[in-house]
C-alpha cells in the first residue's frame, strides 16, 4: 500500500524542506504533501476537510514545539474530531524524553516518536511499520 498523502506540521522551514525532499525521493510515499506551520493552522484546515467529507492525510509528521498552537494542544483538539479513518501521527521532535513518550500514549492516533532530523531509512521503517502494524524499528 502506497502512502498517498502526508501532512507536515512544523514551523521550521529547514526541517519541512528536508522532509519534503525525502518524501519525494521515496517510492512508497505519494507526492501529495500538506504543510502547516503551527497546530492551529493544521487543525482549521484538517477540520475543514473532515466537514467536507474529504480524505485525511494517511500520515502526519507533527512537531511539538511551535508557536500559536503546539503539538500537544493540536493532538488534544484533533482527537475530538469524529473521523472514520484517522491518520497515523508520528511526533517528530529534537527532544524525546520519557515524559513525552508517556504523555503520547494517551493519544490513540500517535503511532510513534521520531528524532529530528527525519532520515531516508526512517521513512522506510515507517512504511514497513504501517503495512505490518508493527512498532517502528529505528
Whether 138 maps to a domain, the answer reads no
In a domain, 81, yes or no: yes
Number of domains in the chain: 1
Q: Residue 47 maps to which CATH number?
A: 3.40.50.2300
Q: For residue 136, what pLDDT band results from cuts at 50, 70 and 90?
A: low
Binned at pLDDT 50, 70 and 90, residue 137 comes out as: very low
User: Is 34 inside any structural domain?
Assistant: yes
The answer to the question of residue 137 being in a domain is no
Burial level of 14, CB count in 10 A (0-12/13-18/19+)?
A: exposed
The verdict on residue 17 lying in a domain is: yes
Q: Which residues contact 26 (CB under 8 A, 6 or more apart)?
A: 120, 123, 124, 127
Return the H-helix or E-strand segment holding 63.
none
pLDDT digits (tens, 9 = 90+) for 93-107: 887 778 888 888 889
CA angle 80, 98, 42 (to 5 degrees): 30
The answer as to whether 98 is a domain residue is: yes
* Cell 512544523 found at: 10
Stretch 106-118: mean pLDDT: 88
Residue with cell 498552537: 69
Q: Containing domain of residue 112, as a range?
A: 3-132
pTM: 0.90
Amino acid at each position: 500500500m502506497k502512502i498517498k498523502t502526508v501532512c507536515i506540521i512544523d514551523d521550521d522551514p529547514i526541517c519541512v524542506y528536508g522532509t519534503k525532499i525525502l518524501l519525494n525521493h521515496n517510492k512508497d510515499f505519494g507526492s501529495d504533501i500538506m504543510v502547516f506551520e503551527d497546530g492551529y493552522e493544521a487543525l482549521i484546515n484538517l477540520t475543514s476537510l473532515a466537514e467536507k467529507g474529504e480524505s485525511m492525510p494517511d500520515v502526519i509528521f507533527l512537531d511539538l514545539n511551535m508557536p500559536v498552537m503546539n503539538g500537544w494542544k493540536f493532538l488534544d483538539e484533533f482527537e475530538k474530531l469524529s473521523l472514520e479513518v484517522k491518520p497515523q501521527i508520528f511526533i517528530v521532535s529534537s527532544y524525546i524524553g520519557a515524559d513525552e513518550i508517556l504523555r503520547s500514549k494517551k493519544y490513540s492516533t500517535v503511532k510513534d516518536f521520531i528524532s529530528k532530523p527525519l532520515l531516508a531509512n526512517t521513512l522506510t521503517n515507517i512504511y514497513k511499520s504501517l503495512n505490518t502494524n508493527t512498532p517502528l524499528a529505528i
